[in-house]
Structure 1
Amino acid sequence: MIPASSIDFLKKLKDNNNRDWFNAHKDEYLEQLAYIEAFADALLGEMNKHDVIETVSGKKSLQRIYRDTRFSPDKTPYKTNWSGGFTRATAQRRGGYYFHIEPGNTFVAGGFWAPEPRDMKLIRDDISFDPAPIRRIISSKEFTDTFGSLRGEQLKTTPKGFDPTDEAIDLLRYKQFLLQRKFTDKEVLSPGFVEQANLTYMRMRPFFDYMSEILTSNADGSVAD
């Protein structure tokens, strides 16, 4: 269970986003970080009951709180959220899991952030050939109740090599395929948050399984090496 102090620390950090304040409160940061590691460990334990996760521990799933300011106009040195990700094991399991805990802006997400050109072509070719399977998944009650709709950046024009009148042109324009479910601060601090985060990941599986089949097959439908 994530304590209120972990959310409160982020609020204070947002108001005091500088190295002097952070260094003076380093012990508090480490105490709250331990709670988030425990949450991530508990979540990983639940996920391994229904998927095979390569990430070895909750601690290893967490992203650093220190921001890379080298190429950013925002020079504040620290992120004001807790976040982490879990990698599915083996090349046959595609799709990534992510969580982001921030006061007023917590979400659990997953999907395909930056498909390689080869993968993008496989996905688009399959969708163009038969869009019915993906439409079935993203229009199901379980999907819409959990995620609302498919998210991600889209092209403004028709992707190269495809017909602008293709019946699946709305799906072919996607450059990312993301699923996201938001949570209130009250939900984050409730005893059931691990269960709900895990349930959210479970409900991504039909989409992940569909994409995994596409991305681990050759153009003729045979299994890729």
Structure 2
Amino acid sequence: MRRRFVFLLMKLALVLDFLADLAAHNHKAWMDEHRARYHAARAEYAAFVEELLRLASAELEPDLRGLRATDLMFRINKNDRSQLDPEPYKRHMGAGFKPGGRHAPRAGYFVAVQPGGGTYVGAGRRLPDAAELARIRQEIHYNGPAFHALRQDANLLRHFPQGLEMAQALKTAPKGYDRTDPDIAWLRLKSYFVWQHFPDAEVVRPDFPDRVLAAWQAARPLVDFLNGALD
């Protein structure tokens, strides 16, 4: 199995090389000229995702069984470009590991490969819709001690030292909550997500899949808490 990991990660280095070139030539004409190379890189990333899916369905989330890499991988085309964003393609290849596939309305596990240290492993629910946010906030309000124990768990912070993403939050208290609530900093969040970046040299190491799975396992109690709220 270790030999298979080494093979997969050697191929993952090819994905990093392609994405580095794409970042330097992020326009349709270049992509059209290098379409065959893109498909080759995407196939190698899909093989990496398939191997993670095999591990995750056996050791982390049994309900992932029956899914394929194509159910989990995000498109490389940007769907939400603004007028200030001239680049039509993402600079990474990413996948969301959730029962029901990448777009399922629940918390899950994520991995994205991007050169220059942009590769990240993450878990949780990022930018849920208003109804989902209301459910998560209500669960935190009702079960604050359990939530705080999960977000401060030593194993979680070993893999995600920054803890929950705090960058995106309301400027005031959400509707129905007092701004003096002791949990207001957490109730104001727009995402309930942890992530950690990895330099390229670590991404191509043979133990990278093991590190991804270990990080997801550390985040599983938090993911289960969020899905308990969403379900």
TM-score (norm 1): 0.85
Cα shift at 1:181? 1.6
Establish whether residue 2 from structure 1 lines up as the match of residue 9 from structure 2.
Answer: yes
Which residue pairs with 1:186 in the alignment?
201
Cα shift at 1:189? 0.8
Which residue pairs with 2:146 in the alignment?
133
Distance 1:56 1:129, change over 3 A: closer
Distance 1:38 1:115, change over 3 A: same
Task: Output aligned runs, 1:169-184, within 5 Å.
Answer: 169-184=184-199
User: Does structure 1 retain, via aligned residues, the 8 Å contact 2:124–2:226?
Assistant: no
What CA distance in whole angstroms lies between the structure 2 residues aligned with 1:69 and 1:130? 35
Which residue pairs with 1:38 in the alignment?
47
2:127 aligned partner, one-letter code: A
Structure 2 unpaired stretches of 5+: 1-7
What CA distance in whole angstroms lies between the structure 1 residues aligned with 2:113 and 2:137? 33
Single out whichever of 116-125 and 167-176 deviates more from structure 2: 116-125
User: Does structure 1 retain, via aligned residues, the 8 Å contact 2:14–2:41?
Assistant: yes
Establish whether residue 63 from structure 1 lines up as the match of residue 74 from structure 2.
Answer: yes
What CA distance in whole angstroms lies between the structure 2 residues aligned with 1:170 and 1:142? 23
Q: How many percent of aligned residue pairs carry the same amino acid?
A: 28
TM-score (norm 2): 0.83
What CA distance in whole angstroms lies between the structure 1 residues aligned with 2:225 and 2:67? 25
What CA distance in whole angstroms lies between the structure 2 residues aligned with 1:76 and 1:37? 23
User: Does structure 1 retain, via aligned residues, the 8 Å contact 2:110–2:121?
Assistant: yes
Structure 1 unpaired stretches of 5+: 217-225
Which residue pairs with 2:3 in the alignment?
none
Which residue pairs with 1:48 in the alignment?
57
Task: Output aligned runs, 1:158-173, within 5 Å.
Answer: 158-173=173-188
Cα shift at 1:88? 2.2
Distance 1:99 1:165, change over 3 A: same
2:109 aligned partner, one-letter code: Y
* Residue-pair matches, total: 214
**Which of 215, 223, 226 is matched with 1:200 structurally?**
215
User: Does structure 1 retain, via aligned residues, the 8 Å contact 2:156–2:215?
Assistant: no
Establish whether residue 98 from structure 1 lines up as the match of residue 110 from structure 2.
Answer: yes
Kindly provide the CA deviation profile for residues 135-177 of structure 1, in whole angstroms up to 9, marking residues without a partner as x: 1111111111111211152111112221222121121111210
What CA distance in whole angstroms lies between the structure 2 residues aligned with 1:119 and 1:83? 23
For 2:147, what is the secondary structure of its paired residue? Answer: helix
Root-mean-square deviation (CA), in Å?
2.3
Which residue pairs with 1:223 in the alignment?
none
- Of structures 1 and 2, the larger Rg is shown by 1
Which is richer in helix? 2
1:171 aligned partner, one-letter code: W
Cα shift at 1:71? 4.1
**Which of 147, 153, 165 is matched with 1:151 structurally?**
165
